[in-house]
Amino acid sequence: MAWGKVDVDEQRMRFVIAVSRGEKRFGELCKEFDISRPTGYQWWRRFQAGGCKAVVEKSRRPQHSPQKTSPGIEKRVLEVRRERPDWGARKLQYLLEQEGIKLPVITVHRILLRHDLVRQQDRHRAAVKRFAREAPNQLWQMDFKGPVGWEAPVGPLSVLDDHSRYVVALHGTWSTKAEPVKQQLERVFAQCGMPEEMLMDHGTPWWNMKAATGWTWLTLWIIKQGVRLHFSGYRHPQTQGKVERFHGALAAAGQRRGFPVGDQRQRWLDDFRHEYNHVRPHEALGMKTPATVWHRSVRQYQANPAAWEYETGSEVIKGRAGRPYPCRWKTLGNQPCLSRRMGAVDRIDERILVTTAEVWFANST
């Protein structure tokens, strides 16, 4: 049985009309309309005093609000929101406080609601627990933004510090080719120092589905710098939650402020990166900006890392392009990233270890 829909004003009008006709006793009408006797008497008194208009539902909004936000302050809230349409109430409150305007977050939020400036998908409770590394440069997350809005096969490349959320790189390579990515990483490593670890997905150009290890020559180049690599789970973007969250902010800015076109794209990205790092407060950082939390890594980038010294007694061999990695015990499968690279082969128990330039992988015999 479907639920009946009741219009409150219509119900009241039907009730007072039935009472005025005197067809049934007052108590019977209250029971029929599923209301209490005091409510019925209240509706009847209103009808007698002011007719039909007095019976309809009255607004519960107070007639006077001494603490209501002044029109001037409300106007400034709306101006700041229009300047940064992708910022929420907490960040706007922080920015307004820098101007000397002190408002509770809920007040800013209600002003935005009154002017229909809050999207439905943004009206959700934030996560109550977050996970982050203990210090800057312990882990960097790297990923490409999707292509929507960028007039290119792929969006910009992002590299973000896990602890501070500081964006160390935001550059439009506009392709997933390894060489442009390497150029950007060289620039970032030289300016910001080296992270201890990096996290990325199983995508091009740092993952090769056809290789036994999954590595590419770009992967090997990063590892040779002494960086430990981690790869997220397949179809599990939550592993890279911080860079994904940053991409959400980037997409929101593009949608609300307008995506740049042509030669303006990189300048737009540079301006957004500066705002995100130096202006935009971050709730997970206690409303601090990422730039106030991040610092340059003390680990220096080595353009020409020293040659790797192999253990005494190891069999040193050389990989061949397009061929399985050879050794006197067993073929280890195709390793394109190890082509023409020297490596040492050792047997430990029932496993074969191949070490090449600070890299090792294992294969069971």
Highest mean pLDDT among 157-171, 195-209, 219-233, 299-313: 157-171
Please report which helix (H) or strand (E) contains residue 198, including its range: strand 197-200
Q: Look-up: residue for tokens 């971050």?
A: 282
Q: Is 227 helix (H, G, I), strand (E, B) or coil?
A: coil
Reported as a pLDDT band with limits 50, 70 and 90, residue 310 is low
**Phi, psi of 312, rounded to the nearest 5 degrees:** -65, 135
Highest mean pLDDT among 287-291, 324-328, 361-365: 287-291
Q: Residue 2: pLDDT above 60?
A: no
Reported as a pLDDT band with limits 50, 70 and 90, residue 34 is confident
Q: Residue 358: pLDDT above 50?
A: no
For the chain, the average pLDDT equals 80
139-144/197-200 β-pairing: parallel
Percent of the chain with pLDDT over 90: 43
CB neighbours (10 Å) of residue 340? 8
Q: Residue 180: pLDDT above 60?
A: yes
pLDDT at 240: 83
Separation between Cα atoms, residue 98 and residue 215, nearest integer Å: 48
- For the segment 195-224, what is each residue's pLDDT rounded down to a tens digit? 999 999 988 999 888 876 788 899 989 988
**295 or 357, greater pLDDT:** 295
pLDDT at 146: 93
Reported as a pLDDT band with limits 50, 70 and 90, residue 311 is low
What does the pLDDT average to over 271-290? 94
Q: Look-up: residue for tokens 């007052």?
A: 26
In order, the DSSP letters of 143-187 are EEPPSTTTTSSS--EEEEETTT--EEEEE---S--HHHHHHHHHH
What residues are paired with 348 via a beta bridge?
A: 351
CB neighbours (10 Å) of residue 121? 6
Domain range summary for the chain, segments of one domain joined by +: 8-55, 71-122, 139-293, 315-364
Q: Which CATH architecture has domain 139-293?
A: 2-Layer Sandwich (3.30)
Q: Look-up: residue for tokens 């029932």?
A: 350
- For the segment 242-268, what is each residue's pLDDT rounded down to a tens digit? 999 999 999 999 999 999 999 999 999
Separation between Cα atoms, residue 110 and residue 360, nearest integer Å: 57
